Amino acid sequence: MESKINQAILIISFLSLIFFNPAQGICVPCDSTHQNPSPPSHSPHNPHPGLTSTIPLGSSSSTKFITSTNRRGFAPSSSFTSTLTEDDPILQIHPNKAFGDKLFHHSIHPISVPPVIATIHRAAIQKICDKTDNPSLCISSISPFLKGAGAKIDVHSVIEMAIKACSHHAKLAILAASKLARGSSDATTVSSINDCKDFYSDALDNLQSARDAIASRDIGTINIMLSAAVTDFGTCEDGFAGESSPLAHFNEKLSKLASNCLAIASLI
């Protein structure tokens, strides 16, 4: 009986080999013809996976996209465009009359504040500037500063704007003088230019003192400080006696601006 059982087990085992092994033989070539793609190599984590389906992070396309986005996000501020430095292209000009013209135009017409006078201010400003020796210069020089003047325009607000305009141009003159001094090989000229820088700096202090005295209506201090500024500009020009002054255009405009301030101050 036991031998029959053993025979039955052997038969079942043999039949199992016949029926199950061919099935594996068929599956192997099937697997070989439909291989799964190899697993992707490890890539850095991308916080925006949606982008990788169209623009891979490592491609040149994605680099261009990021660059253009950064450029669109940058916009120079208005204060940057209205501030001049020694490296500004406007100073990369040969020092002649055109050089002075361009700097002066920039000084009284800052890019960030167009020199447009509102209708409500025009008559009041015209009336005050007509009292000066240079009314057109008076109007054009103060118009860029009207943005913060408020609704009321009177002698006090106009003289403050006129002093601001003169100070702004004096700062430009200092920058120009520094540029001219570095570009000159004549020791006498360089010395005179450096003296002018000192006079311009002194004029800025005087103009600030005059401006500070407006609130207290201290007309005496205003006149003294403005007159001192006029003297500073004239003394600078006198330092070039007997030779051509590379700062003549600046000194002429500065003297006119300061003179306008004195004329307006007389109306207080």
Q: Tell me how far apart the alpha carbons of residues 45 and 54 are, in angstroms, rounded to a whole number.
A: 16
Q: How far is CA 21 from CA 10, 35, 54, in A?
A: 16, 21, 47
Quote the pTM value. Answer: 0.59
pLDDT at res. 150: 63
Which DSSP letter does residue 268 get?
-
Largest CA distance in the chain: 143
User: Nearest-5° angle of CA 185, CA 168, CA 84?
Assistant: 60
Tokens 């106009």 belong to: 158
**pLDDT confidence of residue 8:** 62
Structure tokens at 4: 């029959």
pLDDT per position as a tens digit, 52-104: 333 333 333 333 332 333 333 323 333 323 344 444 433 433 334 444 445 54
Q: Which residue do the tokens 């300061």 mark?
A: 258
Please write the tens of the pLDDT for every residue from 14-28: 555 555 554 444 444
More confident call, 12 vs 197: 197
Q: Identify the residue whose tokens are 């002066």.
A: 104
Q: Is the distance from CB of 200 to CB of 241 less than 8 angstroms?
A: no
* % of the chain surpassing 90 pLDDT: 46
Q: Which domains does the chain have, with CATH numbers?
A: 102-265 (1.20.140.40)
